[in-house]
Amino acid sequence: MVGRFPVVLSLSLLLFISLALFPGPARGEGFAQWLAGFKGEAVARGIDSRIVSKALDGAAPRARVISKDRNQPEFTFSLNAYLKRLVSRKRVSKGRRMYVRYRPTLDRVTDRYPVDPEILVALWGIESDYGRLTGGFPVMGALATLAYDLRRREYFSAELLAALKLVNKGLVPLESLKGSWAGAMGPLQFMPSVFLDYGVDFNGDGRIDPWRSHGDLFASGANYLVDSGWKDGVGCVWPVSWRGGGRVAIPAAGERHDLAFWRLCGFVPADPWSAPRNVKTRIIAPEGEKGPLFAVSSNYDVLLKWNRSHSFALAVARLARTISR
C-alpha cells in the first residue's frame, strides 16, 4: 500500500490522530450521511439493495483501521529489518516444503500462465505466511472506514463497491469477507477489484476459491502477474556492489542496460554465476547510496505493481530464490 507518515509514530499517538479524525457524534453524523449516499450509489449500480443493507447497515468508522493505514511496516522498518522479519528461516523452511508439496499443481498452473513457480509460492509466503495470516478485519467495515477517510477516498470507495459486487455475484459469501485492515483478502491478499478481475476457477468447480483450492490460488496470482507483464525465466533481482571509486553514481531511474554494461560502470554482481545474460536491468538503491544496491529486471517492476514497496518486492524475490534452491 502506498503512503506513510515521514516518521514512525507511537501507537498512542497514532490512536490519538485516529480519534481526531472521528472525534464524536458530529463526525459520526457525517459518516452516516456519506454512508447513506454510498449505499444509494451502490444500488444504482446494480447491487441488490438487500445485500447493500446487510453488508453496510450498522457500519461505523474504525480507529484501528486508520492507525494501521498510517503505520504500514513496508514503510516504517529498515530494509534489513523488514527482510529479516519477512524472510525468516522458519518461513524459508516452510516455503521449501510447500514448493515440493504443491509442485504438481504449480506445474499445471504455470503451463497455462508462464510464471516462475517459486515466485507464486514466495508471494503466498510473504502475503499471508502460506495462508496462516489472512486477517480478521470485517472487509466491509474496513473499506467503509477508508472510503470515508479523505486520504484515498476514491480508491477505497471503488474497492468497497467491488466487495459488494463479489457478494452480489455469489463469488464470496458475505460472512467470509474477512481480511486485512485495508480490505485485502485470502492467502494472496487480493483487493476486491483484483479478485474480480483476475480470480480464476482453475479446478472448474464453478467457484473462485483461493481459500480452499490451491489451483485457484496459484492461477489467480499467475493470471495477475502475466497480465502485468511477467516474463518467465528472466529472473528478478541481483545484488550488486559499487567498485567505481568515490561516491556511488546511481543511474537515472529509467536507465536500463545489461549487466556487462553496468560492470563497466562500476556495478559488480555479488554472485556472478546468477547474473542475467542479455537481460536489461536498472540499478536501484532503496535506502540511498550508502545502502544496498540491486540490478532489477522488468519482473521486479511487476512485483511493484502488486505492492508499491521496494521492501516487499525484495522480500518476495529473496524468498523465491531461497525456496527453489
Based on the domain organization, do 158 and 276 belong to the same domain? no
Based on the domain organization, do 20 and 161 belong to the same domain? yes
> Does a structural domain hold residue 313?
yes
Based on the domain organization, do 278 and 157 belong to the same domain? no
Report pLDDT digits (tens) over 45-71.
999 999 999 999 989 988 899 888 877
Based on the domain organization, do 162 and 62 belong to the same domain? yes
d(CA 325, CA 322): 6
Strand ranges for the chain from DSSP E: 137-138, 178-179, 237-242, 267-269, 282-284, 293-296
Whether residue 19 has pLDDT greater than 60: no
Based on the domain organization, do 155 and 16 belong to the same domain? yes
Based on the domain organization, do 154 and 270 belong to the same domain? no
At residue 75, the pLDDT reads: 63
> Does a structural domain hold residue 156?
yes
Question: pLDDT band for position 76 (50/70/90)?
Answer: low
How many residues in total does the chain contain? 325
d(CA 14, CA 23): 14
Based on the domain organization, do 34 and 149 belong to the same domain? yes
Amino acid at 210: P
Single out the residue of 320, 165, 171 nearest to residue 236, CA to CA.
320
> Does a structural domain hold residue 4?
no
Based on the domain organization, do 159 and 18 belong to the same domain? yes
Single out the residue of 284, 254, 260, 255 nearest to residue 272, CA to CA.
260
Q: 166 is written with which cell numbers?
A: 463479489
Based on the domain organization, do 157 and 245 belong to the same domain? no
Strand 282-284 relative to strand 293-296, pairing: antiparallel
Average pLDDT, the chain: 88
d(CA 318, CA 188): 17
154: containing domain = 11-72+143-168
Q: How many domains does the chain have?
A: 2
pTM for this one? 0.85
> Does a structural domain hold residue 88?
no
With contact defined as beta carbons under 8 Å apart, do 287 and 248 qualify?
Answer: no
At residue 74, the pLDDT reads: 61
